[in-house]
Structure 1
Amino acid sequence: MTTPTPPDDALICSARGCRAPAVWELRWNNPRLHPPERRKTWLACPAHRASLGDFLDARGFLREVEPVPGSPTLES
């Protein structure tokens, strides 16, 4: 399967080597380094939403998962 190439200004997935358009925001923080209100964001395409989320969740870092504003809402 071929992944479409996103436009230069498109948000792309944070998974290593992935160039697919992002449709999910995975908001996280490391409680040993960041204050509770701080959020960092990884972006995910539908194919990598679960693996990136599992990686963050296994470390206790995942806080929220939301659709990227303006992207179609997809089932996780």
Structure 2
Amino acid sequence: MIPSASPSEEGPETPICSAKGCREPAVWVLAWNNPKLHTPDRRKTWLACEEHREHLSKFLGARGFLKDTVPLAEWHAPDDG
């Protein structure tokens, strides 16, 4: 699920950055997976604005969780079925 801003902010469907306290529109999808908890093909997602992309990527990368970073406009969520 991709978080979105409240209707009074950017709009009802505007995805927002996952960084704590950030309310900026997201422009990146960081796909990740914790191999201790998830099957290899499972992808969880965090969203990032330009300012927080590097910080969130480093956080996930340091733990070996980061699998892919994709512009939000190009992201296609895997089918769950």
Identify whether the pair has TM-score above 0.5, normalized to the shorter chain.
yes
TM-score (norm 1): 0.82
1:13-55 deviations in Å (ceiling 9; x for gaps): 0000000000000000000110000000000000000000000
Q: Match for 1:9: what amino acid? A: E
Separation of aligned partners in 1, 2:23 and 2:66: 22
TM-score (norm 2): 0.77
> Which residue of the partner structure matches residue 49 of structure 1?
53
Q: Percent identity?
A: 58
Contact 1:12–1:44 (CA<8 Å) still a contact in 2? Answer: yes
SS in 1 for 2:54: helix
Separation of aligned partners in 1, 2:63 and 2:30: 14
Report how many aligned residue pairs link the two structures. 66
Separation of aligned partners in 2, 1:67 and 1:27: 11
Which ranges in structure 1 are unaligned for 5 or more consecutive residues?
Answer: 71-76
